[in-house]
Amino acid sequence: MKRNTLILMVLTLVIVAGCTLVPRRAKEPEAPAGGEAVDISTAGLSADAAAIAQERQLSPADITAALKTYLPTGVHDDYVIFASGGHSGQMLVIGVPSMRLLKVIGVFTPEPWQGWGYGVGNEILDEGNINGQEIRWADTHHPALSETAGDYDGEWVFINDKANARVAVIDLRDFETKQIVKNPIAVNDHGATMVTPNTEYVIEGGQYAAPLGWEYASLDDYNEEYRGMVTFWKFNRDTGRLDAANSFALELPPYWQDLCDAGKLVSEGWVFCNSFNAERATGGIEEGNPPFEAGASQGDTDYMHIINLKQAEAAFEAGKTTEVKGFPVISLQTAIDEGILYLTPEPKSPHGVDISPDGQFLVVSGKLDPHVTVYSFDKIASTIDAQRWDTDDYGVPVLALDDVKEAQVEVGLGPLHSQFDNQGYVYTSLFLDSAVARWTLGGDFADLHPEDPWQLVGKIPVHYNIGHLLTAEGDTVSPDGKYLVAMNKWAIDRFANVGPLLPQNFQLIDIDNTGEGMQLLYDMPIGIGEPHYAQMIAYDKLQPWEVYPEIGWDPHTQAVSDNAVQPGEEKIVRDGNQVEIFMTAVRSHFTPEHVEIQEGDHVIWHITNIERAYDATHGFSIPAYNINLSIEPGEAVTIEFDADQPGVFSYYCTEFCSALHLEMTGYLLVQPSGSAAAVGE
Ligand code: RUQ
Ligand code: CUA
């Protein structure tokens, strides 16, 4: 660390003192230079560095940014981002500060490198089918890392599919998707996924209202028939699965619920969801109605939903539910009667509600209001206790804004989402300003900024049109500060032109130099979809396996498979027209290398990678049969197919695993039915 600081100071001084720099482009505010001049030779620094910097026209800020993000070979990142893969339906894993893409995890979409959906994973992908229709893409929005006591624990990560209201579970022991659930009562979602502080529940809030179960109803009956919802999926850590039998939903008014967040510490046991279109506009521009964009922003306020999850859980356990498509739903009336649901106004067309690390403050930004509005949980609780409220058209209690508001802070144009650090600062994305605003919390955080709680204290431009942003451990009870990533919707001129469809731009920002502003460090193009949200966890909290724990491991059950094949036990067993193949893979051969069967056979093929070496993965593909597997060290897989195509098919290993990798192959010979060979002549 000390050496880095020294190098940084030296380089800064060399550049400032010795070079005439030609600015190539508009620059961010530069990092301040400082310290005493140091002799380059005693610092052990190459004298060429200044020349390189000059030749590449690097400013002092560029050099500090490079030094802060560069990792020498073999050095690991301090943080890992789990980002939504947007339309790709996948999860991106990115190192910080290097911003290197470490992995794309196959989730809702088949992924060939991981062999996800080409013989393995198909049953999990099928869990996400809708009425028998295969859905093999997703609009992933919000990943959520599992938490213990409000802190990321590095064990699981969840993500939603907005387009189809589905939730996926990824196990961080092997970074593989284990489950997909389709929400039975909603066809799309948005306020997902968020977890309660001990990951008891994974929250899935809806968005565009529809009759529950998405049965047909005329838009003329919108107020009566259309509904919002939030679903609480019970997570079972022992099985590593969402447990539908212990999950339930809450019927909500047909306001378009947007994003949710779980309360923590003082607000633990509560869930908050913002909404837009409290106007209940139903669109129809083609019939002369106001378009949604106008109709849904006519009013000055929308509604934040305040949900007493403990009460909801009690109502569910007491059986105070009705069933929609076989799924238990707490009706709106029950939610009112049981004290489960409350509303309070929020400035128009907000996007998101974010809860401060102490659980006390709820931050909401109206996209069309230059302020963030901060609510106090204490005030919400005391207003509810005092039963001081009006009601909306459905009879839901509405708490007056003045009763529950703590502060409003003017931050800039188009505020969307907020994140927190460990210095009492909040960072709010400004979509219209293309900037990140930094402002101060009050309350218990006021000690950190006694002179100016609830004040805007800085802004940094980003490029361009930022949506979400994330800070290190930013959704936990103890954020780390240090880094912020702006998730920008538009890149425009930041990267080489790759045609009219441009990548998203993740910008890494140093927020650790408190009091000295924020520094833009790095631009990372995301050329795979639009990742809406991401979370950043300390790398040392992750404990992934290097190889599967034992030979013959089934990643789906996370136990040794009954179908594991030990070396020496390879065989081909025929039973009628069913052929079962027991195969091992090890550098550089499959055993067996000849598989001769007959057209029409049903094939069950078990393969175990018997390697114990780190990184000794083998692939396995069969042409024309759409089979492509990745078999990691220790892993056992089983595939099944009907041998409906006669001919000669060379299967081979698709990972360059060794010097004799090309020889890691074999023949699948499928005799045509009725041929001499097939009838055994
Ligand atoms: S939203 S800014 Cu889905 Cu969280 Cu996109
Ligand atoms: Cu195994 Cu290539």
pLDDT tens-digit map of 409-435: 999 999 999 999 999 999 999 999 999
Task: Identify the nearest ligand to the CA of 656 by its number.
Answer: 2
Residue nearest (by alpha carbon) to ligand 1 atom 1: 532
Task: Identify the nearest ligand to the CA of 140 by its number.
Answer: 1
Q: How much of the chain exceeds pLDDT 90, in percent?
A: 86
The owner of tokens 């030296």 is 10
Average pLDDT over residues 613-639: 98
Does ligand 1 come within 6 angstroms of the Cβ of 264?
Answer: no
Pairing verdict, β 79-84 and 91-96: antiparallel
Q: How sure is the predictor about 140, in pLDDT bands with cuts at 50, 70 and 90?
A: very high
Q: Check residue 7 and give its pLDDT.
A: 44
Distance, C-alpha 23 to centroid of its chain: 37
Residue 112 has pLDDT above 80, yes or no: yes
Q: How sure is the predictor about 675, in pLDDT bands with cuts at 50, 70 and 90?
A: confident
Q: Check residue 349 and give its pLDDT.
A: 86
Q: How sure is the predictor about 514, in pLDDT bands with cuts at 50, 70 and 90?
A: low
Q: Which atom of ligand 2 is nearest to the CA of 654?
A: 2
User: What distance in Å separates the CA atoms of residue 429 and residue 417, rounded to the nearest whole number?
Assistant: 6
Residue 50 has pLDDT above 80, yes or no: yes
Average pLDDT over residues 402-408: 97
Q: How sure is the predictor about 2, in pLDDT bands with cuts at 50, 70 and 90?
A: very low
Residue nearest (by alpha carbon) to ligand 1 atom 4: 532
Q: How sure is the predictor about 47, in pLDDT bands with cuts at 50, 70 and 90?
A: low
Residues 527 and 499: beta-carbon distance below 8 Å: no
Q: How sure is the predictor about 317, in pLDDT bands with cuts at 50, 70 and 90?
A: very high
Q: How sure is the predictor about 15, in pLDDT bands with cuts at 50, 70 and 90?
A: very low
Q: Check residue 14 and give its pLDDT.
A: 40
Say how many Å lie between the CA of residue 243 and the centre of ligand 2: 38
For residue range 155-170, what is the model confidence (pLDDT) as tens digits?
999 999 999 999 999 9
Lowest mean pLDDT among 345-349, 584-588, 620-624: 345-349
Say how many Å lie between the CA of residue 397 and the centre of ligand 1: 28
For residue range 200-223, what is the model confidence (pLDDT) as tens digits?
999 999 999 999 999 999 999 999
For residue range 534-572, what is the model confidence (pLDDT) as tens digits?
999 999 999 999 999 999 999 999 999 999 999 999 999
Q: Check residue 517 and give its pLDDT.
A: 81
Say how many Å lie between the CA of residue 664 and the centre of ligand 2: 6
Instruction: Say if residue 466 is exposed, middle or buried (CB neighbours under 10 Å; 0-12, 13-18, 19+).
Output: buried
Average pLDDT over residues 85-100: 98
Q: How sure is the predictor about 327, in pLDDT bands with cuts at 50, 70 and 90?
A: very high
Say how many Å lie between the CA of residue 530 and the centre of ligand 1: 10
Residues 250 and 273: beta-carbon distance below 8 Å: no
Q: How sure is the predictor about 678, in pLDDT bands with cuts at 50, 70 and 90?
A: low
Nearest to 674 by CA among 602, 580, 598: 598
Q: Which atom of ligand 1 is nearest to the CA of 489?
A: 2
Average of per-residue pLDDT values in the chain: 92
Instruction: Give the orientation angle of helix 2-18 with respect to helix 60-69, to 10 degrees.
Output: 160
Does ligand 2 come within 6 angstroms of the Cβ of 459?
Answer: no
Say how many Å lie between the CA of residue 351 and the centre of ligand 2: 48
Does ligand 1 come within 6 angstroms of the Cβ of 175?
Answer: no
Q: Between these two residues, 398 and 35, which has the higher pLDDT value?
A: 398
H/E segment holding residue 103: strand 101-105
Residue 25 has pLDDT above 60, yes or no: no
User: What distance in Å separates the CA atoms of residue 273 and residue 349, rounded to the nearest whole number?
Assistant: 13
Q: How sure is the predictor about 451, in pLDDT bands with cuts at 50, 70 and 90?
A: confident
- Quote the strand ranges of 377-450, DSSP E: 390-391, 397-398, 405-410, 415-420, 425-430, 435-440
Q: Check residue 368 and give its pLDDT.
A: 85
Q: Between these two residues, 53 and 374, which has the higher pLDDT value?
A: 374
Q: Which atom of ligand 2 is nearest to the CA of 655?
A: 2
Pairing verdict, β 405-410 and 350-355: unpaired
Does ligand 2 come within 6 angstroms of the Cβ of 620?
Answer: no
Residue 623 has pLDDT above 60, yes or no: yes
Pairing verdict, β 594-598 and 665-671: parallel
**Secondary structure of 216-285 in HEC code, one letter for each residue:** CCCHHHHHHHCEEEEEEEEEECCCCEEEEEEEEEEEECCCEEEEEEECCHHHCCEEEEEEECCCCCCCCH
User: What distance in Å separates the CA atoms of residue 198 and residue 218, rounded to the nearest whole number?
Assistant: 41
Q: Check residue 366 and give its pLDDT.
A: 86
Say how many Å lie between the CA of residue 619 and the centre of ligand 2: 6
Say how many Å lie between the CA of residue 399 and the centre of ligand 2: 64
The β-bridge partners of 636 are: 608
Helix (H, G, I), strand (E, B) or coil at 483: strand
Q: Check residue 45 and give its pLDDT.
A: 54
Does ligand 1 come within 6 angstroms of the Cβ of 227?
Answer: no
Residue nearest (by alpha carbon) to ligand 2 atom 1: 618
Q: Which atom of ligand 2 is nearest to the CA of 662?
A: 2
Q: How much of the chain exceeds pLDDT 70, in percent?
A: 92
SS3 content of the chain, % helix, strand, coil (to 5): 15, 40, 45
Model confidence pTM above 0.85: yes
Q: Check residue 674 and give its pLDDT.
A: 82
Average pLDDT over residues 383-407: 98
Name the DSSP letter for residue 35: S
Average pLDDT over residues 294-314: 95
Does ligand 1 come within 6 angstroms of the Cβ of 367?
Answer: no
Say how many Å lie between the CA of residue 649 and the centre of ligand 2: 17
Q: How sure is the predictor about 367, in pLDDT bands with cuts at 50, 70 and 90?
A: confident
Task: Identify the nearest ligand to the CA of 613 by its number.
Answer: 2
User: What distance in Å separates the CA atoms of residue 640 and residue 648, rounded to the nearest whole number?
Assistant: 18
Average pLDDT over residues 656-667: 97
Please choose from 140, 160, 430, 533 the residue to mutate so as to test ligand 1's pocket, defined by most ligand atoms within 8 A of CB.
Answer: 533
Q: How sure is the predictor about 679, in pLDDT bands with cuts at 50, 70 and 90?
A: low
Residue 383 has pLDDT above 80, yes or no: yes
